[in-house]
Amino acid sequence: MNTATYFAYPDAAAQAQGLAQAVAALLRHHINSQDYAVLAVSGGRSPIAVFEALSQIELPWHKVTITLVDERWVPAHHADSNGALVRRHLLQHHAALAQWQPLVAENADDLFFRQPENVAASVAAALADYRQPDVVLLGMGDDGHTASLFPSASQLPAALAADAPALLHTTPVSAPHERISLSLGAIATAANVLLAIGGSSKRRVLQQALAAHSAALPVGLVLNHPQVSAHIHYHE
């Protein structure tokens, strides 16, 4: 049964500010209780304004580790790299003091990514450095995917399994690039799960996902997971 809490905003700018403040408050809470916090964020264009607002908030950032919910298997300089997006828009200002934990080696050359067999090596390296996130900031695609848990991906059943590793390789059917993604279990283990969406079309997808409990709309499986009590931040 979904126990999400909803926060509505008049526009994307207000959502970005509200989300940044919400994430900052959660990071403060975890730092106060355990002297560190691990934040996992999503890529894409939507969270850029959130990242920029969050980077301006004063926190003991040196006690925060920032990592990714998922990463495209591309070089660090690639235009589609989520890591590049985080470095450009979040690891700035006050947040420049945070520790950065990428999911893909940033010193790997282009040749490395042209050899498919190296995907497994990348996943193994990311698992070796893995730290369980305390706070997870998710987005959602029009197809109901979140993180890189894509409908119809051949690895989706493994990513949803109770015994799944924290990170695994996924191959989207409807999007470019191989991916490394948090599994459902890793997301559900986070103390705080936040989802940011905008627009009426995504709201309809979200409503369908919450009602469906189906791998056809993986975000619903995340939000309906018994360990997850998500905060959903929505703007028109």
What is the pTM (predicted TM-score) of this model?
A: 0.96
| Tens-digit pLDDT profile for residues 130-176 | 999 999 999 999 999 999 999 999 999 999 999 999 999 999 988 99
Q: Give CA–CA dist 115/117, Å, rounded.
A: 6
Which CATH number does the domain housing residue 68 bear? 3.40.50.1360
Contacts for 192 with CB less than 8 Å, ≥ 6 apart: 26, 134, 135, 136, 231
144 and 217 in contact (C-beta within 8 Å)? yes
> If we measure between CA atoms, which residue out of 193, 194, 185 comes closest to residue 158?
185
Return the pLDDT at 2. Answer: 62
Report the chain's mean pLDDT, rounded to a whole number. 96
Could you give the 3-state DSSP secondary structure of residue 115?
A: coil
Containing structural domain, residue 88:
5-235
Return the pLDDT at 44. Answer: 86
57 and 28 in contact (C-beta within 8 Å)? no
- Number of compact structural domains in the chain: 1
Q: How far is CA 183 from the centre of its chain?
A: 11
β-strand partners of 65: 38, 99
> If we measure between CA atoms, which residue out of 55, 2, 18 comes closest to residue 207?
2
Copy the structure tokens of residue 174.
């409807």
At 233, which amino acid appears?
H
Cβ atoms within 10 Å of 106's Cβ, excluding its own: 13
Return the pLDDT at 230. Answer: 95
| Tens-digit pLDDT profile for residues 93-138 | 999 999 999 999 999 999 999 999 999 999 999 999 999 999 999 9
Position 85 pLDDT exceeds 60 = yes
150 and 70 in contact (C-beta within 8 Å)? no
Position 208 pLDDT exceeds 90 = yes
Confidence of residue 187 (pLDDT cuts 50, 70, 90): very high
Return the pLDDT at 174. Answer: 86
Placement of tokens 């191959």 in the chain: 171
Position 33 pLDDT exceeds 90 = yes
